[in-house]
Structure 1
Amino acid sequence: MDTIRNRRSIRKYTAQLVPQELVTRLLEAAMSAPSAGNEQPWEFIVITDREVLQAITRVHPYSQMLKEAPLAVVVCGNLEREKYPGFWVEDCSAATENILLEAEEIGLGGVWLGVYPHDERVKGLAELLRLPSSVVPLSIVALGYPAEKKPPAERFDPSRVHTNRW
């Protein structure tokens, strides 16, 4: 629970590069996510190239933190791997959250940038990253060593809990 509560959306990063072994841990966490029928429809694009990170900021209006983030992971759904149509969104969302939780666990900061279902973001990112037509970008996770600290979030609200019926 500490990792879950301490995870916050971090949008400011130091210039320190993220070592490959930590990138691998992030991807292992992502691929440990549950998926419908164990279909694992995900694909991941690891981006460290400054030019590509900058280019994303021209495609995604809320991605300006990529101008300083040393790393981004684009989480995509591969529609050719779907056993259960439409569940790729949930599966890739679980993978995205696992990246964020592992980032917190290993001392990185991250923020989830939604791509799908916004057509202009999906098309722009697909073109920029040269995605095959069967691959749809769901999210971008900006990552790096945090240059800001936020207190744990206390979001539990018992008024949102209903038992047996509304």
Structure 2
Amino acid sequence: MSTPTVLDATAMLRGAGLRVTNTRVAVIETLQDMPHSGVDALVPRVELRVPTTSRQAVYNALGDLVGAGLVRRIEPAGHPGLYELRVGDNHHHIVCQRCGAVADVECVTGHAPCLTPGDTGGFDLAEAEVTFWGVCADCTATSTATASAAVPAATH
């Protein structure tokens, strides 16, 4: 099992030409701990690191980070926007239809754009964004346990 790399948020911001602010650093550090998080989950965690920040400051930081290519925003159908630090590698996502958990899925064919439509309409394809849907292992285990518990015991 490998240890996750600790990101240098300050270096990331400077490398992207962004001003280093406490909120931006806290958003990056929080996303490292909580990939695929929405604003509702991020704000309280960022506030723990920067008590003087605001919800609007977190939104602004996310917008700046997405604009600079440091953060990716994904929008699974029926879910609020989610953010992650993993950018530029053409990976996809799988979403649990029960609990909404999101996980990364590597490119399905190994090279961009992963899928090729029959007609590109004149577009030069760069990548495909694929979202797989299913039931996560935790929800499957819960369903199996619930179903087993619901089976009535034989009467004598």
**TM-score normalized with structure 1 length:** 0.28
Q: Which protein, 1 or 2, shows the higher relative CO under an 8 Å CA cutoff with sep ≥ 6?
A: 1
Structure exhibiting the larger radius of gyration computed from Cα positions? 2
